[in-house]
Amino acid sequence: MGETPLKNGRITPFNASAGLLTGPAFAEPRGHWQFTEDGKGIELRPCSTGTATLCVVITRLPSSAKTLPPAERRAVCGAAMLADLQPARAKDGELTRLDGWADDIESITPESKATRYPASVVVLAENRARLDLRGTFGIVIDRIQLVRVLTPITDCK
């Protein structure tokens, strides 16, 4: 078992032989992150499905979602908006990334499931990451900047 020091003073253990993290420049992706554009809080953690993959779970709704009816808020809060994230094969000179799928949380309702897109998480530095959502033919249709937060941010109850 190895250890990766983080700038916030925490030490996060991880098992590099589990196949989740590869490449010498790959920062530990697990932990709490925030969307820079709307303040949505998320946590990148192992999936509860028992597989050796990572998931992104919503821990704080963006301010725009606070006006949603309670049933819709409950459908979004705690939902895995990204799942099955596993290392992708990188070409020379590319940053290592995790590929999986993402649900469009804007499309989740109590009656219907979310629209699903291929997605990638690229950890740019220990405290910065980027989420790429892909559409038809693998074209990036949305790019979201993430920053690591020192303490968990949550308002999901």
Question: 2-17+28-148 — its CATH code?
Answer: 2.40.128
**pTM for the model:** 0.69
User: Residue 146: its pLDDT value, please?
Assistant: 92
Collect all residues with Cβ–Cβ distance below 8 Å to 4 and sequence separation of at least 6. Answer: 11, 12, 13, 14, 27, 28
**Pairing outcome for strands 97-103 and 128-134:** unpaired
Separation CA 98–CA 68 (nearest Å):
31
Amino acid at 140: V
Average pLDDT, the chain: 74
The residues that bridge with 3 in the sheet, in sequence order, are 13
Whole-number Cα distances in Å, 24 to 11, 28, 87, 105, 120: 18, 11, 13, 33, 19
User: Residue 10: its pLDDT value, please?
Assistant: 35
- Is 135 a residue whose pLDDT tops 70? yes
Separation CA 69–CA 13 (nearest Å):
39
Separation CA 113–CA 102 (nearest Å):
12
pLDDT band per the 50, 70, 90 thresholds, residue 148:
very high
pLDDT band per the 50, 70, 90 thresholds, residue 52:
confident
Per the model's pLDDT, the better-predicted residue between 66 and 56 turns out to be 56
Least confident of 5-9, 28-32, 98-102: 5-9
Residue of 86, 99, 89, 101 lying closest to 20 (CA atoms):
86
Amino acid at 58: I
Question: What integer is the mean pLDDT of 38-62?
Answer: 83
Per the model's pLDDT, the better-predicted residue between 85 and 115 turns out to be 85
Please write down the long-range contacts of 67-75, taking CB distance under 8 Å and 24 or more positions apart.
71/110, 72/108, 72/109, 72/110, 75/108, 75/109, 75/110
